[in-house]
Structure 1
Amino acid sequence: MLFFLFSMVSASYIPGTKPKEFEKDKIVELYVTKIDSSLTQLPFDYYYLNFCKPASTIEYNDNIGQSLSGDLIENSPYKIQMQNTVYCSNLCELTNSKTDIEIFKWMIDNEYKANWVIDGLPSGYRVPVNTTKTNLAFYQDGVPIGFKANGKRFLYNHHHFIIKVHKTSVDKWRIVGFLVNPMSLNSEGRDACKDYNIQEIIQVQENYVEKIITSENNFKLVEDVINEEFLQDAASQKIKWSYSVTFENSDTKWASRWDVYLYTEGGEVHWLSILNSFGMVIFLSFMVGHLFRRTLSRDISNYNERVDTDPEVDSGWKQLRGDVFRPPAYLGLFCVCIGSGIQLIFMTLFTILFACIGFLRPDHRGALLSTMLFLFAFMGCFGGYVSGRFYKMFGGLNWKTNSMGVATIFPGTCFGIFFIINLLIWGEESSGAVDFLSLLELICIWFGISVPLVFIGSALGYKKASITNPCKVSKIPKPIPMRRNFLVYCVCLLAGSLPFGCMFIELNYIMNSLWHHSLFYYLFGFLFLCFIVLIVTSAEVSILMTYIVLCREDYRWWWLSMQISGSSGVYLFLYSGFYYAIKLEISRFTSTVLYFGYMLIGSMAFALVTGTIGFISTFVFIRKIFSLIKSD
């Protein structure tokens, strides 16, 4: 039976690592995706505009991440065959109503870009780079629908597809590049494919692009030749659509075909940010190490030697041995925050590791978001387990209520914000609005996977023996001699800027990738290093500030240890407001709500991650120092 089962096993491969080879004349499928803009952040279905359609449109949605991001993939009417050059092919002629013309104008005014996909590669729009190297350029995802000039709006109604191929054998090629050069050809009473010398225009364009001319005069020379189709103020307007296809041989290997999309200037900035973060960690480590080596070791040794003969030596944090492990206020909510933080920490860690390995390649659209959703659901067992352990340590009795809080409070808050945003997007007729089936799938992941795993993990944690602390809690709370003043809270809030500072530079790249749709983020190795630095910084900041509070004989450290490092989420949200004012040009109310809604979710998650790291490390620290002193 085993040998029979082995014979049925077939090998698999890491997604995105198996190249596809095309023979001559083989059909090369060209798919269309959403049209989007960094100015509005509202994606639309490609066929929302009056573009040429195939006989029947088919949607290709592989995962829930595509549905949630509005990244729809559909078939197109373009017919492309490997190594078959087409200098001009009429696609269709469409009559646009006044409403259609107004929509085109609105899209051009808001800098919308159309997107195509061939063999997993997005349509690239070549952008010159000012560098000492010659003939260097990187690709931006998406091609403008049109442009404005001299008070008119010109529409790109002819697209020249440049497919770069790498020959692997006699009659087989791999696609290693996909460029689109748009043109605007006057179609009123003309046949662009007959009345224009498209081949000559293409050669002019190719010379322009290959030399990467940045001179304004040269750009205008090409612009005057090809940009002629403008949108008229009329009741209707006929527009003819056409396309060209050329193939270019390339020495680029299939494994390196994404390099031109992922190019970014200032790569040394990442190393500087890492060095800056490590410098901050070394500085904090020196302070904490000094605290352990000098102050703590001296206090503990002096106390243990003299406590039996000199009771006055019992001062500072050592007086709190009967109260330091007293349960915090709102212990149920505290355990919920810990469980949600653990769930987010494991989700983040595994997502970055999968991305570093190569599972989350950029040609798998929606894979990153889908992976994060499923990992968050499956990591519920860890969140429930840790929350259940602490809930029992604090003497909590109703562990089911605590489990339900871990399973619903943070996900429910995120879902509520997402649902409000989705309603506003739906009112804008954007393809970014999630349909009912996708919402139902999201709810099934939540209540079908995450909630049961949280309950299982919490039950296992609650059944384990309670965590035994080195000091017993006294029956009568000790009076706190010094109340916390405003200065203490200000210092703790300022300390939260250190974890945020470790991620600041890398965060700028992430924000650019999220809110500027023409850029890709791929530096997951740097992100992994930054995450490690974030863990260490959050831990050391919380330990240091909590020790200072304990020295003031204030034993209310539970929430404070979480708030110190968790306040970095406040800085993240403030930075999002700064980024909105400086880097973005959003003017629509819906887009503003979308931006700040998602950044609020991100800031809350960041606060829970850093806050939980700060509490866990501080808890270990306090257990250690109080286990070293003599107790009654």
Structure 2
Amino acid sequence: MGRFTWTRLTAAVTILATVATTASAFYLPGVAPHDYVDTENVLVMVNALTPSSESELKSVIPYDYYHEQLHFCQPEHPKAQPESLGSILFGDRIWDSPMKLCQAKVPGRDALFINDRIRENYAINWLVDGLPAAHARRGSDGQTIYSMGFPLGSMDGGKPRLNNHYEITMSYHYNQKLEVYRIVGITVIPRSIAKPTADKPACGFDQLATAEPVILNEAGETEVTYTYSVKWESSDTEWATRWDKYLLVGEPKIHWFSLVNSIIIVLFLTGMVAMILLRALHKDISRYNQQEAQEDIQEDFGWKLVHGDVFRAPSYPMLLSIIVGNGTQLFLMSAVTIVFAALGFLSPSNRGSLATVMVVFYMFFGIVAGFVSARLYKMFGGEAWKRNVVGTAFLFPALIFGAFLGLNFFLIGAQSSAAVPFGTMVGVVALWFLVSTPLSVIGSYLGFQRAKIENPVRANQIPRQIPDQVFYLKPIPSMLIGGVLPFGAIFIELYFILNSIWFHKIYYVFGFLFLVFGILVLTCAEVTILMCYFHLCAEDYHWWWRAFFTSGASAFYIFGYSVIYYFSTLQIRSFTSMVLFFGWTAIMSIMFFMLSGAIGFFSTFAFVRKIYGSIKID
């Protein structure tokens, strides 16, 4: 039982789960092919059950395949497979599996648990040679769509039916030159059959679709027999293209519409900024310099009026320098990760590679955070350099880690497989203290050792009084106005990203994401410069914090959009799932706030230094 040999017509497989975590030095991690020979066993793995649906999502809590209340067939001593850091953080829990004919007795309490998971559209996840088992269905355009995983059960007249029979189709490609076989596809059709007949071999059941289904009794015990059948199919699909059917981009026209929409916004902003820079600013600078050359003393006007205050140190310079440093760290992490992904270095077969690379780059760019924070704090005239070093290394990471730890307790309470193990948590803390923190301290040391940044204009001793501002130039309205444009440039792509995160789909259109990210950078820079010019002309010189908040305010729109997404797309009712959704959304919004705020700050900083360095001031 549980072992069947490879032939080109029919075969039997021992489904023992394993992970191919080693790769040849000549291949990128996770993309080295496994060559099978005739009669060699094919190794298959089981992963955590995840909520999955094409239309509505009712939960965000994954469960271990061998969760005690699910009663799946399991080996006597299940072995967990080694996984990457990113795979663990994203909730993957991969085990070996015997996949054999077995019977399980499900008590009423566990039947209720399983039925609730069926009502919430949970999916079973298997892997063969790193390839997820897929459930094929027809799309609205008649094209076959392959979704990762296959349903745990289905609803029939309001009653949950447990799928206990799996019709497995293995697709393989035969390489005549090397005389080896390679797995290029696996699809599963799950069925619910209450009384399977055993007059045929265990791997050859031929049940009718009209058979009586498995209905779990929530008031008593139910005996369930798990069976499977396997069919082998020769395929012309080569190993290098076996992921293509998983990576088909749904509705590519919408992605192009998103890109065109973003480009239009950028062109509009670029036109306005160019008009200001080439016309208004050029005229202003010419007039200011002409007046300076004249003997008659004339009163200043426009943005030149605040030249003695524009480089005055902001309120809370310590905090501003810290968050700008951490925002720069996040920006570089995101930019480099997207470039690597767009170039194809992050293979989807290497599970968790995207998250792992993000964590690694974030840790290494701690040196940039320390350097930027120190340089800014020294420019602001700060003297408490020790507090700056400690704050840069610990303030923002501690906030994110604390939120992450709090959400992990909710996952532990729900007995979810996504709960990060203690050992992994210790590893994350070790990376923070042994890699990120020392690099941040080194960056701070290098930053404080450099000469102080000299501004083109000295600040007056007595601050100038700021006149009353019109409504749209007041702090909160101006920030909200500035934040809506960067959000407008990315909100369509944001929808696809949210779908891939919460519906457990593969997001692989990194070419689009690279272009949208570039457009986001330009939009944040231009809208912040534009708003800063308006404020300076209105004699408001408090631009340091406002530059950060103007572009960073797009994060508030992202969180608001996520709230709309929650109520319009998701059907979540459990308190734990709701806390997890809004908790992770808040963390992502805060990180985006820091990232986009740093873009706006540095672009405005360069703009202000440029224009005040272009005029003659005594």
Report if TM-score (shorter chain) is over 0.5: yes
Find the counterpart in structure 1 of residue 225 from structure 2: 240
The alignment partner of 1:314 has SS state of coil
Find the counterpart in structure 2 of residue 106 from structure 1: 116
State the distance in 1 between where 2:337 and 2:297 align.
53
Find the counterpart in structure 2 of residue 415 from structure 1: 401
Find the counterpart in structure 1 of residue 482 from structure 2: 495
Q: Does 1:94 align with 2:100?
A: no
Q: CA deviation at 1:166?
A: 1.2
Q: Does 1:176 align with 2:184?
A: yes
State the distance in 2 between where 1:490 and 1:520 align.
38
- Of the three residues 52, 65, 73, the one matched with 1:46 is 65
Whether the 8 Å contact between 2:269 and 2:526 is mirrored in structure 1 is yes
Q: CA deviation at 1:631?
A: 1.3
The alignment partner of 2:215 has SS state of coil
Q: Does 1:16 align with 2:27?
A: no
User: Mapping of 1:109-120 within 5 angstroms?
Assistant: 109-120=119-130
Match of 1:39, as an amino acid? K
State the distance in 1 between where 2:203 and 2:124 align.
25
State the distance in 1 between where 2:199 and 2:111 align.
23
Find the counterpart in structure 2 of residue 344 from structure 1: 330
Match of 2:115, as an amino acid? K
Find the counterpart in structure 1 of residue 591 from structure 2: 605
User: Mapping of 1:476-515 within 5 angstroms?
Assistant: 476-483=462-469, 485=471, 488=474, 489-515=476-502
Whether the 8 Å contact between 1:164 and 1:247 is mirrored in structure 2 is yes
Q: Does 1:589 align with 2:575?
A: yes
Find the counterpart in structure 1 of residue 424 from structure 2: 438
Find the counterpart in structure 2 of residue 212 from structure 1: none
Q: Identify the range of structure 1 (21-30 vs 337-346) with the bigger mean alpha-carbon deviation.
A: 21-30
Normalised to the residue count of structure 1, the TM-score between the two structures is 0.89
Find the counterpart in structure 2 of residue 276 from structure 1: 261
Find the counterpart in structure 1 of residue 136 from structure 2: 126
Indicate how the Cα distance of structure 1 residues 109 and 192 shifts in structure 2: closer, same or farther if over 3 A, else same.
farther
Q: Percent identity?
A: 41
Q: Does 1:186 align with 2:194?
A: yes
The alignment partner of 1:166 has SS state of strand
The alignment partner of 1:525 has SS state of helix
Q: Does 1:466 align with 2:442?
A: no
Find the counterpart in structure 2 of residue 85 from structure 1: none
Deviations 1:133-170 (A, max 9, x none): x6x31211111111121343211111111111111127
Which runs of no fewer than 5 residues in structure 2 stay unpaired? 1-23, 52-56
Indicate how the Cα distance of structure 1 residues 465 and 367 shifts in structure 2: closer, same or farther if over 3 A, else same.
same
Match of 1:267, as an amino acid? P
Whether the 8 Å contact between 1:328 and 1:556 is mirrored in structure 2 is yes
Q: Does 1:285 align with 2:270?
A: yes
Indicate how the Cα distance of structure 1 residues 549 and 310 shifts in structure 2: closer, same or farther if over 3 A, else same.
farther
User: Mapping of 1:150-299 within 5 angstroms?
Assistant: 150-169=157-176, 171-187=179-195, 191-192=197-198, 194=200, 223=209, 225-226=210-211, 228-299=213-284
Match of 2:260, as an amino acid? L
The alignment partner of 1:415 has SS state of helix
The alignment partner of 2:298 has SS state of helix
The alignment partner of 1:402 has SS state of helix
Normalised to the residue count of structure 2, the TM-score between the two structures is 0.91
User: Mapping of 1:271-420 within 5 angstroms?
Assistant: 271-307=256-292, 308-420=294-406
The alignment partner of 1:247 has SS state of strand
Indicate how the Cα distance of structure 1 residues 128 and 274 shifts in structure 2: closer, same or farther if over 3 A, else same.
same
Q: Does 1:64 align with 2:77?
A: no
State the distance in 1 between where 2:265 and 2:521 align.
12
Whether the 8 Å contact between 2:30 and 2:350 is mirrored in structure 1 is yes
The alignment partner of 1:31 has SS state of strand
Q: Identify the range of structure 1 (267-276 vs 616-625) with the bigger mean alpha-carbon deviation.
A: 267-276
The alignment partner of 2:438 has SS state of helix
State the distance in 1 between where 2:30 and 2:204 align.
36
State the distance in 2 between where 1:197 and 1:115 align.
20
Which runs of no fewer than 5 residues in structure 1 stay unpaired? 1-9, 79-89, 202-221
Whether the 8 Å contact between 2:203 and 2:229 is mirrored in structure 1 is no
Match of 2:266, as an amino acid? V
Whether the 8 Å contact between 2:471 and 2:477 is mirrored in structure 1 is no
Whether the 8 Å contact between 2:134 and 2:188 is mirrored in structure 1 is yes
State the distance in 1 between where 2:203 and 2:92 align.
36
Which of the two has greater helix per residue? 1
The alignment partner of 2:181 has SS state of strand
Deviations 1:311-368 (A, max 9, x none): 3351111012211110000000000111010000010011111212222221222221
**Matched positions, count:** 585
State the distance in 2 between where 1:309 and 1:416 align.
63
Indicate how the Cα distance of structure 1 residues 197 and 257 shifts in structure 2: closer, same or farther if over 3 A, else same.
closer
State the distance in 2 between where 1:513 and 1:524 align.
13
Whether the 8 Å contact between 1:482 and 1:554 is mirrored in structure 2 is no
The alignment partner of 1:496 has SS state of helix
Find the counterpart in structure 2 of residue 210 from structure 1: none
Whether the 8 Å contact between 2:161 and 2:215 is mirrored in structure 1 is yes
Q: CA deviation at 1:445?
A: 1.0
